């Protein structure tokens, strides 16, 4: 079995894979400081809840955009899983060519996403990851990661609204039944969510226009991705497990 760990700015997502089957997945908050032993207790508890012994884990792969927790996390894997984790970064085989001005600045999470898209669909793809930031990454049919758009995520957009105003409250991010709101809460939700739908649709439309190709597959992932996916026809599919699937693809390439 493979333990795949995706460290994002907001959450640490862990998936247990048996070949290509995802047996279970768990989520921890990233911003809580943890020692290697605290990470170990969390992981051991989560494995136990899935009735999986740590000695059943054959290997561990980590994709991280938060360098400051990596010392504790990697030491936890060595101590509690007894494995040396494969960390996605320079020198790792991905099957992707990064055609960006500074390839080393591209986050591991985005390399995982485009690897999944290219190796799964073998055609031009835009992968939208609705995380702390929302990223729109384009990979062509040759496996070349060429273009990217990065914007504030849904939660950041909502936080900016209530943090920068005196009387507007904190809101749950959900799509109201109508954009014609009759109270402050619905009005804020309508502005944030309907506005974000328009934002996403415009970026997709403009990317396809400048690429001169309407036959581009658009895939969404990430925590709040389903909210937007359910409200637009411009996203072809939503898959919350792209990170785990992409890491499995990269793991197989490196273990061969």
What positions carry a catalytic annotation? 109
Token digits of residue 153: 């995520």
Q: How many CB atoms lie within 10 A of CB 66?
A: 14
Residues sharing a CB contact under 8 Å with residue 68, sequence separation 6 or more, in sequence order: none
In degrees rounded to 5, what are phi and psi of residue 13?
-105, 135
Interatomic CA distance for residues 5 and 221, integer angstroms: 16
* CB contact at 8 A, 204 and 138: no
Q: What share of the chain is helix, strand, coil (3-state, %, to 5)?
A: 40, 25, 35
The residues facing 25 across adjacent strands are 15
CA distance 104 to 127: 19
Listed in sequence order, the residues at least 6 apart from 84 whose beta carbon sits closer than 8 Å to its beta carbon are 77, 78
């Amino acid at each position: 079995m493979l333990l795949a760990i995706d460290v994002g700015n907001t959450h640490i997502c862990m998936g247990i894979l048996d070949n290509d089957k995802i047996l279970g997945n768990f989520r921890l908050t990233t911003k809580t400081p943890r020692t290697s032993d605290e990470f170990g207790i969390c992981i051991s508890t989560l494995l136990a809840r899935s009735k999986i012994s740590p000695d059943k884990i054959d290997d561990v792969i980590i994709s991280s955009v938060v360098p400051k927790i990596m010392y504790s996390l990697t030491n936890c894997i060595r101590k509690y899983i007894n494995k040396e984790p494969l960390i996605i970064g320079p020198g790792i085989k991905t099957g992707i060519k990064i055609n960006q001005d500074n390839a080393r600045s591209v986050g591991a999470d985005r390399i995982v996403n485009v690897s999944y898209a290219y190796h799964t669909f073998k055609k031009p793809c835009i992968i939208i990851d609705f995380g702390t930031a929302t990223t729109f990454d384009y990979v062509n049919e040759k496996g070349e990661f060429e273009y990217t758009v990065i914007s504030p995520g849904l939660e950041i957009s909502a936080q900016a609204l209530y943090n920068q105003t005196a009387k507007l409250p904190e809101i749950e991010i959900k799509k109201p039944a109508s954009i014609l709101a009759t109270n402050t809460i619905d009005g804020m939700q309508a502005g944030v969510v309907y506005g974000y739908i328009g934002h996403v649709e415009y970026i997709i439309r403009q990317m396809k226009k400048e690429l001169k190709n309407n036959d581009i597959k658009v895939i969404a992932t990430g925590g709040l991705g389903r909210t937007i996916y359910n409200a637009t026809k411009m996203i072809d599919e939503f898959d919350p497990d792209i990170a785990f699937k992409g890491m499995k693809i990269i793991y197989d390439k490196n273990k061969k």
